[in-house]
Amino acid sequence: MIAVALRGFTLAMSRKASLHFIDSSSRHRAELARVGFSLGHHSEVYGDLSELSSHPPREGIIIARDSAEEGGVAVILDRLGKLGIWLPLIAVEAQPRPGRIVEAIKAGALDICLCHWMPTGLRDASPGLRKKPKSSERRAAE
């Protein structure tokens, strides 16, 4: 699903989009950064929106956990708007209910990634984020 959301950014830009991951778990942040780097993207990680606001990004894509307890995508986008951060947002959640998916998209999320554990799901669900094989690797595969 993220492939649909990011493919346009990857194709429209001469370089890959920077990914800005927001997750309260330090373990998840480390894994997300590793996945982003392995896919060839510059990745930044933030523990919460307050940390993001201290160094507000001006380009790239924000990928944040859709947490109903914290208000979900609507609250994230509202806070980003108040901070003057106008970047696309992709929500991620391990097992969202269909209603949460609809709420996230209606609130303005560019896409939602349904991931059992986000980094694996992000990589597997996102051909647009996958690292492109080198020309020598492509020839060997043919």
Across the chain, mean pLDDT equals 77
**The pLDDT of residue 44:** 95
- Contact between 68 and 100 under an 8 Å Cβ cutoff? The reply is yes
Calpha distance 124→120 (Å, rounded):
6
**The pLDDT of residue 22:** 93
pLDDT-derived band at 42, boundaries 50, 70, 90: very high
Calpha distance 112→135 (Å, rounded):
32
Calpha distance 137→119 (Å, rounded):
24
Listed in sequence order, the DSSP H helices in the chain are 2-12, 26-38, 49-54, 72-82, 98-107, 118-124, 135-141
120-141 confidence digits (pLDDT tens): 445 444 444 444 455 444 444 4
**The pLDDT of residue 116:** 55
Residue recorded with tokens 């929500």: 91
Residue burial 5-36, b: 16+ Cβ < 10 Å; e: rest: bbeebbeeeeebbbbbbbbeeeebbebbbebb
